[in-house]
A = this chain, B = another copy of it.
Amino acid sequence: MTAIFFSSFSDRTKKACGIFILLLLTFFNTFAQNNILVFQSDFGLKDGAVSAMKGVAMGVSPDLKLFDVTHEIPAYNIWEASYRLVQTAPYWPAGTVFVSVCDPGVGTDRKSVVLLTKSGHYFVTPDNGTLTLIAEQLGIQEVREIDEAKNRRKNSNESYTFHGRDVYAFTGARLASKTITYEQVGPKLPDQVVMIPYQKPSFEQGKVKGTIPILDIQYGNVWTDIDKKLFNQLGIKIGDVIKVQVFNGTDKVYEGTVKYVNTFGEVKEGADVGYFNSLLNFSLGVNMASFSEKYKVMSGNTWRVVLSK
């Protein structure tokens, strides 16, 4: 059929069409769901909540492959939920569907949405700020509101408090398994999501300023939001010493110098270092120990870092 259809065109038209179709296929391939469904929540793993969500997904399609970001987001900590998504999503193939449930406003009028990013990842979540960093770093392709009249587990209307199971896991599973198309999620919304305000990093008067969005909790390293390009304006090279100040609000919590290294192995045990972490953000650490514990440095919007030569 395609061949017959094509034979009525000139060679030039055919070639243009071919390229167009190729582009179209590439486009759809990039955005096509791939049966991979990745969960994140603040539920913890001590009760059965995560398992109930996965059971619902398996009920939708046994062909789904289920994974997790983490379920240890501190209760109601939307900022950290946002951070964990952006830390991991880019490493998953395009087409992967993420379900994130950190939902202090469950049952209120916050919208339930599915964001499709320019990178081709899907995010099923309450639109409460969880998408802040994803929207900024992966870009908004399209946002749709979940139509709960169609995309809600049968007979689940009695329960008002577990949308993770009844709406998000259910919708995510239907989307990831192509039981529904992205359009069938529900009506299109404007290309925007609820954003948590935060101070952007900057270079001023020979100093680089940033915040500490999160700790590398397992090791006690302190991660900033200062990227390499900004840092390089200081003109500091590997092996040099960096002057560091850390503030919580207006309190100075730490002032000192650290060696700028590629890896911890370049200094002896117990030495303080500055380095770029696995997300290529400037970080503070102690070889074989915890910078956070040693200097009582924590994370959050009120925590700021100032770096200079």
Contact = CB atoms under 8 A, between A and B. Distances in A.
B277 A59 contact: no
Interface string A236-257: 0000000000000000000000
Interface residues of A, number: 69
Interface stretch (A42-50, A174-182, A194-202, A203-211): A42-50
B88 A52 contact: yes
A75 B219 contact: yes
A91 B42 contact: no
Contact of A75 (B53, B218, B263): B218
A104 interface: yes
Nearest to A278: B162
Given A44-B217, A49-B218, A165-B278, 14 more contacts: A35-B62, A43-B218, A45-B72, A48-B84, A51-B67, A51-B68, A54-B67, A55-B89, A59-B93, A75-B219, A104-B288, A159-B277, A160-B263, A160-B275
A136 to B, nearest CB: 17
Given A34-B62, A70-B45, A84-B47, A91 B219 contact: no
Interface of A: 34-36, 38, 42-49, 51-56, 58-59, 62, 65-72, 75-76, 84-85, 87-89, 91-93, 96, 104-108, 158-162, 165, 214, 216-219, 228, 262-266, 275-280, 288
A301 B69 CA distance: 35
A62 B65 contact: yes
Contacts of A275: 160-161
Contacts of A54: 67
Contacts of A228: 158
Nearest to A285: B161
Contact of A264 (B44, B45, B107): B107
Q: How many identical subunits does the complex contain?
A: 3
B58 A36 contact: yes
A72 B68 CA distance: 16
B277 A161 contact: yes
B36 A107 contact: no
A165 B91 contact: yes
Contact of A161 (B35, B96, B106, B263): B263
Contacts of A107: 262-266
A62 B36 contact: yes
Contacts of A85: 48
